[in-house]
Structures are given as C-alpha cells and as structure tokens.
Amino acid sequence: MWEEIVVGDLPKGITLAGQPQLAREWHVLGHTYQMKANSESSFAFETYDPPGTGVPPHIHPTQDEHIYVLEGVFTLYLDGAWETAGPGDTVRMPKGLPHAYYNRGDVPTRGLFWVSPARRLAELFDKLHKVTDPEEVVRLSAECEVDFLPVGAIEGA
C-alpha cells in the first residue's frame, strides 16, 4: 500500500496547455498572464505580450525570477545591460536585480515566468487585473513588494 507524500503546499496535477490554473487569468496594460502554479515556495505564470508592450525597470527585493522564452524575442534590461532572449532561452534575475522586459518585435511573445518564493505576486496580479493607469500599477506594485524604478532612470527603457 502506497501513501501519498506531501512535502510542501504545491498542489500536484497538470495544468493543461492554454489553460490557467484554477481559471486565473489577468489582463494588465496589454499583457495577458495565466497562472500555471502557485504555492508558498513558487509562483509560475505564462505571459502573452503583443508587440510594443513591456514591463519597465523594476526590482523584486524578496524574489528570484526566471523566464523561459516560449515564442518571440524578449528585449531585456538586466542590471545595466540590454540583452535579447529567444525561444528555448532561460533568463535568470536574482532578487534585488534591476530588470525589465519588452516585446520590441513584430510578433507576440510568450514566456513562462516563475518567482521563488511566491510572496505576494498572485495577490498583486489580482489587484492589477484590468487597471489601465500606469501610475496606479506602480503604486499597487509597491504594496506587494515589486518596486518600479523612476521613469528615465534607465536609458532606453
């Protein structure tokens, strides 16, 4: 007889392709985010980013963040340098690292993002869903441990 072993609070299972976990999907300033997994230790979400969209320079002071690029090319600001990442590339952004990402191409981008620990990022996305004012996005983000840098702080952002 086998007993189920539960090590943490991450629910087991499969999130089907194209489906958010627990039907959680958010729309924030032109981006679509779909939750793929959420637990105390990590939070994963898929992004759909139309051409011309992006997330300006910001810092996660309490979380490491990663991106696995699924489609398109992301233009990234990583601690003072501009880089690009395409399908199959993995981007690593340790906590405290100023970073940004943009879709400066002609086709949509998709990426699998995840942060560890999860902290308050799902809560932040709940608050940001359908918010259209960038200043309100910055204010709400600061409440949930994501700190945007001042406009103009990063050349080319």
Q: Name all domains of the chain by residue range, CATH numbers in brackets.
A: 27-145 (2.60.120.10)
Percent of the chain surpassing pLDDT 70: 92
Q: How confident is the model at residue 155 (pLDDT cuts 50, 70, 90)?
A: confident
Question: b/e string for 73-112 if b means 16 or more Cβ within 10 A?
Answer: bbbbbbeeeeeebeeeeebebebebbbbbbbebeeebbbb
**Does residue 4 surpass a pLDDT of 70?**
no
Mean pLDDT (the chain, rounded): 91
Question: Can you give the pLDDT at residue 12?
Answer: 82
Question: Can you give the pLDDT at residue 156?
Answer: 73
Give the residue with greater pLDDT, 137 vs 13. 137
Mean pLDDT value of segment 38-48: 93
Mean pLDDT value of segment 124-135: 94
Mean pLDDT value of segment 135-147: 96
Question: Can you give the pLDDT at residue 1?
Answer: 53
Answer whether 98's CB lies under 8 Å from 28's CB: no
**Does residue 127 surpass a pLDDT of 70?**
yes
Give the residue with greater pLDDT, 152 vs 93. 93
pTM of the model: 0.87
Mean pLDDT value of segment 5-29: 77
Answer whether 59's CB lies under 8 Å from 96's CB: yes
156: its two tokens: 């080319």
